[in-house]
Amino acid sequence: MSKTSIPLPVPENVGKLYDQILKDEHEYDQFEKFNHQLHIGYWDDPSDQSVPMGEAVVRLTDLMIERLKVGAGDHVLDLGCGIGGPASQIVMNTGANVTGVSISEEQIKLAARLAANKGVAERAKFQRADAMQLPFEDESFDAVMALESILHMPSREQVLSEARRVLKPGGRLVLTDFFTRAPHNHDAELHPAIEGFCRVAMITMADVDDYAAMLHRVGLRVRELRDITEQTMDRTWRATLEIVALNDRPVPYDLNDLLGVEEFGCLLVAAERP
């Protein structure tokens, strides 16, 4: 782990942070433009300027869904479901049923409303729960997805262990996570721009060198560990900055500080319960 003084996220506070953001109608409108996806975008060709953020966020969810390997009748747990864009996408792409959980009460309401609007309310259900202690039986899901959510949780290992517990044998876990990557030196302080962002966003960065070992420790078999930084981060910061500029509203953190900071990495992980 890098030397860092970033406090561990407190689930209740993360929930309040999202509640507060989403109660602001203007902020909600922004996420509507991004197809109700609350995460980074994925550009197959990061230099292709013709692909807007709204398409790139859906593309990342599609990449996750492909790896879940589910079909009609299967049951997927969406861990940290946001406002429900990804859950509705799973139902529509695969015919699977989805249970979405989030620590934010506001998100649960919005996700249920979205599923109803899209006509998938029978197959996509949402409830408030803390991923650190899931209110589900052992072996109750065919797959678990955690799209950009584990980074908000105080113990990755605990969440992975919970995901393994609720997965059926042979079931898949697919997630994205942020990590500090080379040229970051593990004995050095975290880059100040990353540290500032982590504090405001209530996240921590993963230790990539320990990721495979951590998955093994909780009893999961690694299927894929892929650095997707080049396809995601820089374009996401730039797309977000464009929106911020249009809004002309005060922001808690200046994303310009993160442009060109190569130590801010994003990881795509797929694992399986043996």
In contact, 220 and 174? CB cutoff 8 Å: no
Residue among 258, 252, 266 nearest 193 (CA): 258
Q: Does 206 bind ligand SAM (CB under 6 A)?
A: no
57 versus 190: smaller Cβ distance to ligand SAM: 57
Closest by Cα among 186, 190, 201 to 264: 190
Q: Which of residues 60-89 bind ligand SAM (CB under 6 A)?
A: 80-82, 85-86
Can residue 110 be called a binding residue for ligand SAM (CB under 6 A)?
Answer: no
Q: Is 131 in the site for ligand SAM (CB under 6 A)?
A: yes
- Interface with ligand SAM by CB under 6 A: which range of 117-125, 130-138, 251-259, 264-272? 130-138
Helix axis angle for 105-117 and 11-23, nearest 10°, is 50
Q: Which one among 103, 108, 239, 266 touches ligand SAM, defined by CB under 6 A?
A: 103
User: Which of 74, 106, 142, 148 is the binder for ligand SAM (CB under 6 A)?
Assistant: 148
Residues 20-49 vs ligand SAM: string with x where CB under 6 A?
-----------------xxx----------
148, 162, 263, 272: which is the annotated catalytic residue? 148
Pick one of 120, 124, 143, 153: the residue that binds ligand SAM (CB under 6 A): 153
State the minimum distance, in angstroms, from the CB of residue 153 to ligand SAM.
5
104 binds ligand SAM (CB under 6 A): yes
Q: Is 27 a catalytic residue?
A: no
| 190-237-132 Cα angle (round to 5) | 60
Among 177, 218, 219, 172, CA closest to 76: 172
Counting residues that bind ligand SAM (by CB under 6 A) gives: 25
Residue 268 engages ligand SAM in binding (rule: CB under 6 A): no
Pairing of the two strands 124-128 and 97-102: parallel
Enumerate residues 6+ apart whose C-beta is below 8 A from 77. 98, 99, 100, 101, 134, 136, 141, 143, 144, 145, 163, 166
Q: Is 255 in the site for ligand SAM (CB under 6 A)?
A: no
The backbone torsions φ and ψ at residue 52, rounded to the nearest 5 degrees and listed phi first, read: -75, 165
Residue 42's Cβ-side half-sphere holds a number of Cα atoms within 13 Å equal to: 17
The two structure tokens encoding residue 145 = 């997805």
Residue 132 binds ligand SAM, judged by CB under 6 A: yes
Place of tokens 């602001």: 24
Between 38 and 220, name the residue whose CB sits nearer to ligand SAM. Answer: 38
Binding site for ligand SAM (CB under 6 A): 11, 14-15, 18, 37-39, 80-82, 85-86, 101-104, 107, 130-132, 147-149, 152-153
Which residues belong to the active site? 148
